[in-house]
Every structure is written in structure tokens, then in C-alpha cells.
Chain A
Amino acid sequence: MKKIEVVRGEYYDSVTLMLVAKEMKKIDGVVDAALNMATEANIEIMKAAGFEIEAGSFSPDNLLIGIDYVKDEIDRIFETVRSYLASPPWKKKEEDTEYSPGTLDGAISVLRDANLALISLPGRFAVAEAMKALKNGLNVMLYSDNVTIEDEIKIKKFADRNDLIVMGPDCGTAVINGKGLGFSNVCPEGPVGIVAASGTGLQELMVQLTRRGIGVKHGIGTGGRDVKRTVGGISFLKGIRELSDNPDISLIIAVGKPPDPEVKERILDSLRKTGKNCVICFMGDDHGKDEASVHYSAELEECAVVAEAILNGKDVSLAREKLRAEYARLSGWRPTGGVKGRYVRGLFTGGTLCYEAQYIAQSHINPIYGNAPLRKEFKLKNSLKPIGHSFIDYGEDEFTQGRLHPMIDPSFRAEQLKEQSEDNSVAVVLFDVVLGYGSAENPSQEVAEAIRAVNRGIKPVYVAYVCGTARDPQDLAKQISLLEDAGVIVCESNARAALLASSLISRRER
């Protein structure tokens, strides 16, 4: 059906009328819409389009609204037309349309004093953009993975020659001058500078320092491969040199999985030369003997404890002993209901947290299988079908192809957690929840729901660690209570959670 409405004495320009017509045609039930000022020519056009118009009674400041409709809601449709004319739906607010450049060059022309490119593009494009950034005098933080080692060496050498740094590839966390980049927690600024070949390692360290009231000024990420022999620690060593020169830094921490031996030697040398107090935490590495200014630690929390003691002028050995005593008490704890089943399953979103947990748990349970096991022979054939004690990193490449990282989208890990909880042989489920910038808005919620949905007579014991600070956007207290309400034992560090989870089993087996 076709109907005409006349609005007298209102003039609209033809573009506005066309736009309103375009909007009207999007409405269900509207076949055609024609809006025209009633000039002779336009009246002819409307007639040609099949609208019945009596000639002679219009002036050009009359608006003709013609609607061809199939639903009997014509009054509502005309109302919509008038509302669109009064307040055009396509008129966006200025701030919505701020220009986003399409290229790095374009962005530099907008932010002329830019000094860092944060790149999280697919790996095959990331290297080209990183190189462009370096040539434009920008430092680079490269979150992308799937970058070849040759490319990594090429861009790092280029950066080094030009007094720049490449953090990454596969570097998700950094703090520069107190500002968090990528996945990072909200920490106070302070006298500590960190160089880290590990993302969640850096996060956990900063969280543990924050809980001890110690602030971090710079946390420089390098990507895990930087400390391999082939790359030679280019970015790691550069980070140490800069922190050494920086007058605001009084304590330097080096953290990561163990470097290749020759790289480790160079790092140690470099740290010794800084003349500043240093703490090393190459997780699971042979514990070196403390030197005059260089101290060793094997776990992230221990590293924070040692740093705290140094900065506060306390006895480092005493601080370590105190921590061990706390650990010993923790490993004596038992749940009231007892433990049913035989195995511990660790389900992690943070790669380094998974690594550290295995390192700590291995003294209580053996062997520990996984997709990133400490020893190759314990690698699971199928990461979706864990056996025995298994610790799985859901942030590994195999899970992030075509799927968001579990720190961003916790749903897949939550599904897996439910499934493994229903395995009768599983006694303890250990997991991490990582908060901070970059992470999901409410990560504990989905885990808690998954736990409630577990279909098993007696559920396993849940042990978790929430890696976050009180100032993180997710609200640490809320995230913890979401878990506790679901019956989860929430520990104060990743190390403690791993220790508790594994000691529950080992004691039972004894």
C-alpha cells in the first residue's frame, strides 16, 4: 500500500531527505520511502513512483512523505519519519569519529613524539611493522608470536645498533615509567627495575612486590627466546645496562626461565658490573651462592621476599627462612572433608605460572605431565586428554590458534576445568586467575560457574591463586570472594598454591 503525508511549511535539503528515506527503507514492513519537497518536478517523480497526489494544492515548502508499506502500522511509520527529520539518526557525535590513522607513518604524524610501537598483529605482518617502527626511531614491544628466530635476531640487532630496544616477540607484559603495557598489574612506582624474559613471571613478581609495599619503576620484557644462545640476550643485556645507568633504580631484578648457560654468564657479568643490588630469579635454576651485590632466588615470591629484605636493610637469610617456615606450615594443612582421587591437575592461563608451579610441585608429586612439561618425556600426546598429574598451559600456541588467549577469554579454560573435575581420578584442581590490564573483566566468574556446574558426587579440592593487586581494574577482593564462595582455597602466591595442591596428594600417598 502506498500512502502520502504532507508536512507543510518545513524545508529540508534533498540530502537529508534521501538519508531519511534510506533509514526508512531499513524498517521492516517498509517497501519504499520517498521524501521530496513539493516542487512540480518532484510531484511528477512521486506520481511516477506510484503515489497518488492531487496537483495544484502544494507549494515548494511542503514536504511530501510517501511510504510504500506492507504492515498495517503506517501511523507509527510516519511518526518515525518525523522523528528522524527532527533528530537524524546518522548524525554521530564528533568524538566518535576521531581519526584513526591506517598506517604507522600516519600515526607518527598524529603523535609526533611517539617513542614506542606496541604491536600485536599476526606474526607474518608484525616483523615488517616492527622494522618500520625501528626505522622511524621507535622502540618496539612485540606481543605477536609466530616470528622466526632469524627475524627476531634481525630486528633486535637493528634496534641495538640504533640505541633502541625490541621487547618481544611474544612479550605481553611491560611497565615503563610506572605505566603498564599489555598484560600488567597496577603497581606503585618505586626503586625497582626488572628485566624479564617471561610475561606472567613479571606480573607475579610485581604483584608480590606490591603486596610487600615495594614499587616498580620499569619492568622491561624481552620475550622468552631472548635468553637463548642464538639471540644471545640482546634485549635482556640492553635492559640491564639502562637500568644500571638509571639514577631512579636502586635494585635490579632479572627474571625468567633459565637462560642458556653462556647467556646466563653474560647476564651475571652485566649485573655484577652495575654496582647496584641485584636479585636473580631464573626459576628452577641451580641456586647460586649470594655474592656481594647479587642475590639468587628460585621462585617468584622468594625473589620478592629477598628484594624486600635488601631494600629494607634486613637480613636476607632470615627473610628466606621465615618464608620457608610459612611454606612448611602451609604444606601441613588438610581440608576437613579429606581428598578423593589420586591426581593433581593444574590448569593455567599464565605460562610462567604453569612453569613455576611444576617446578615447585615436582618435589611432592611425580611425574608431572603437560603440554609444556619440565622434562620432554612427560609431554602429553594430547593436551586435551591429560593423564596422571598434568599441568597444562592454556596460553600455549596450540590453544591460541583461532582462539583468544585464556587471560582475555577464560571460557575455554573454564570448560576444561569442569571436564577434568568430573574425572574420578582427579583429587586436586589447581589453577591461576590473572588480573590487570589486558585480562578479562571478570575472570573468576566463569571459573566459579564451571565449578558449580561440575557433575560429580564429591568434587575435587580446588586450589587457586589470583595474581592481581588491589588497584587492578577487576577488583581483587571481588575476584577472590567469587572463588571462595564456590569453595576454592585461594592462596597468596603462585608458589603457595602449587605447594598446597601438591602436598595434599603427597601426604596422602605417604
Chain B
Amino acid sequence: MTLSFKDLLNSGPKVINLGMERFYLDLLGQEVPVVKVNWRPPLARSSLMDRLRKLRGE
């Protein structure tokens, strides 16, 4: 499923919020479909994460 930028403008934002809760609440208040991610930092330090990503060819 790829939704283009055009689709975003035409159908309006349907948002996944990662980070500041305030942004999520403001979107809820505007009745924008929005899901908040209860994000946590990765367990692994960044050098390990980088190697993992490399391993996966990213």
C-alpha cells in the first residue's frame, strides 16, 4: 500500500503520531484520524542498531 503525496492532499491527513503527545491531542480535537505510538527508544545503543540495519541491507 503506497499512498502518494497527492492522496494525502486529496483525502486529508490520517496520522500516526510518534513523539509529542500534544500534537496527537490537537489532531484528535480536530477529528483527524490519528493513532499515537507509545514509542520507546531501542534497547540497543546506536552503533549496534546501525550494524543491525546494515545486516538487513538498509
- Please list the residues of chain A having a beta carbon within 8 angstroms of any beta carbon in chain B: 100-104, 106-108, 110-122, 124-126, 128-129, 131, 133, 136-139, 143-144, 162-165, 176-182, 218, 238, 242, 245-246, 408, 437-438, 473
Contact = CB atoms under 8 A, between A and B. Distances in A.
B3 A139 contact: yes
Contacts of B40: 102
A10 B25 CA distance: 44
Counting chain A CB atoms within 10 Å of each CB, the highest count among B7, B8, B34 belongs to B8
A164 B5 contact: yes
Contacts of B8: 115-116, 139, 165, 176
Interface of B: 1-20, 22-23, 26-27, 29-30, 32-42, 46, 49, 53, 58
B12 to A, nearest CB: 4
24 contacts: A101-B37, A101-B38, A102-B38, A103-B39, A107-B36, A110-B35, A114-B35, A115-B7, A115-B13, A116-B15, A117-B17, A118-B19, A118-B23, A119-B18, A120-B20, A121-B18, A139-B8, A163-B4, A163-B5, A164-B2, A179-B30, A180-B30, A245-B6, A246-B9
Given A120-B18, A165-B8, A125 B41 contact: yes
A140 to B, nearest CB: 10
B38 A137 contact: no
Nearest to A182: B23
Contact of B37 (A102, A162, A246): A102
A242 B5 CA distance: 8
Counting chain B CB atoms within 10 Å of each CB, the highest count among A118, A121, A238 belongs to A118
A115 B11 contact: yes
Contact of A128 (B1, B11, B27, B49): B49
A143 B5 contact: no
Nearest to A217: B9
Given A118-B17, A182-B23, A163 B6 contact: yes
A114 B14 contact: yes
A128 B52 CA distance: 12
A137 B13 contact: no
- Which 4 pairs across A and B sit closest by C-beta, in order of nearness? A120-B19, A137-B2, A177-B12, A100-B38
A314 B38 CA distance: 51
B37 A104 contact: yes
Contacts of A126: 19
Contacts of A144: 19
A176 B9 contact: yes
Contact of A180 (B17, B19, B26): B26
Nearest to A121: B19
A116 B37 CA distance: 13
Contacts of B53: 128
B19 to A, nearest CB: 3
Given A100-B38, A437-B26, A179 B32 contact: yes
Contacts of B9: 176-177, 218, 242, 246
A150 B6 CA distance: 26
B16 A111 contact: yes
A106 B37 CA distance: 8
B13 to A, nearest CB: 5
B51 to A, nearest CB: 13
A116 B39 contact: no
Contacts of B46: 124
A128 B26 CA distance: 25
A473 B30 CA distance: 11
B33 A103 contact: no
Contacts of B22: 408, 438
Nearest to B32: A179
A234 to B, nearest CB: 12
Contact of B13 (A101, A108, A177): A177
Contacts of B41: 122, 125
A122 B19 CA distance: 8
B7 to A, nearest CB: 6
B8 to A, nearest CB: 5
A279 B46 CA distance: 44
A115 B14 contact: yes
A125 B13 contact: no
B3 to A, nearest CB: 4
Given A111-B35, A179-B32, A181-B13, A438 B18 contact: no
B17 to A, nearest CB: 5
A114 B29 CA distance: 17
Given A114-B14, A124-B46, A180-B30, 5 more contacts: A115-B14, A116-B15, A118-B17, A118-B18, A120-B23
B30 A138 contact: no
A112 B13 CA distance: 13
Contact of B14 (A103, A116, A143, A162): A116
Contacts of A113: 3, 14, 33
Counting chain B CB atoms within 10 Å of each CB, the highest count among A111, A120, A124, A163 belongs to A120
Contacts of B38: 100-102
Contacts of B36: 100, 107
Nearest to A98: B36
Contact of B11 (A102, A163, A177, A438): A177
A280 B33 CA distance: 33
